[in-house]
Amino acid sequence: MNRRAVIQVLIILLLVLLLVFWALGAPGSRKRIVRRGVPNAGKVETDNARMPLDETVLEKDEEMSQAPPEEKKPVTEAVSHSGWVNNGAYEVFGEVKNVGNNTARQVKARVIFKNGKWERLGEVENLVDNPTLAPGQKSGFKVVFKTGDPKTVGSYVLLFTVAR
């Protein structure tokens, strides 16, 4: 085959792949429902920083929701987070960002700790370093879970709350 024929075949294959991708839908375009199960012990995975992995996601009907319109409420999300055992406690720290259009006040990081069997060990809630975040602003946070044996922590769920 000559060079021109090879290029034409590659272009056709690329178009077929794009068509298949489009037909199946882009990743993240579908509702995300995560089933409960036994997590990988000691490993925390995140697909979307706004949504914890071990909670079932159910979307509310628009009519039943009492929440203010999307453009009115502040929205926060984790930019990064990490957790490990340190000095006999399990520490979770990271950075949160206000991705909404309004100022977020009294931003708190709430962490629910779970063991390797997905059972709840406890939860801790702390204000982030800078609890008032303007749109686009970031703040660090740190949550410390003091327990008898921090190695029993298999995973955690990270949530952020904002005062209205």
Residue 10 belongs to a domain: no
Q: What pLDDT does 56 receive?
A: 42
What is the CA 25 to chain-centroid distance, rounded?
A: 21
pLDDT at 68 over 70: no
Query: Could you tell me the CATH number of the domain that includes residue 153?
Result: 2.60.40.3230
* 106 assigned to some structural domain: yes
Would 148 be classed as within a structural domain? Answer: yes
Buried b (16+ CB within 10 A) or exposed e, 135-156: eeeebebebebeeeebebbbbb
Q: How far apart are CA 144 and CA 84, in angstroms?
A: 10
Burial class (CB in 10 A: 0-12, 13-18, 19+), 17: exposed
Mean pLDDT score across all residues of the chain: 76
Q: Is the pLDDT of residue 116 over 80?
A: yes
Residue range 34-53: mean pLDDT, rounded: 44
Is residue 110, in this structure, part of any structural domain at all?
A: yes
Q: Please give the tally of structural domains in the chain.
A: 1
Residue with tokens 């720290």: 93
Alpha carbons 95 and 87: distance in angstroms, whole number:
22
What residues make up the domain containing 142? 31-163
Whether 145 maps to a domain, the answer reads yes
How far apart, in whole angstroms, are the C-alpha atoms of residue 31 and residue 83? 27
User: Which is more confidently placed, 126 or 35?
Assistant: 126
Residue 3, in any domain of the structure: no
Q: With respect to residue 15, please indicate whether it lies within any of the assigned structural domains.
A: no
Residues 67-90, mean pLDDT to the nearest whole number:
78
Is 39 in contact with 146 (CB distance < 8 Å)?
no
Q: Angle 76-82-86 (CA atoms, 0-180°, nearest 5)?
A: 130
Domain-embedded: residue 35:
yes
In the chain, pLDDT over 90 holds for what percent of residues?
Answer: 32
Q: In this predicted model, which residue has the larger pLDDT, 57 or 27? A: 27
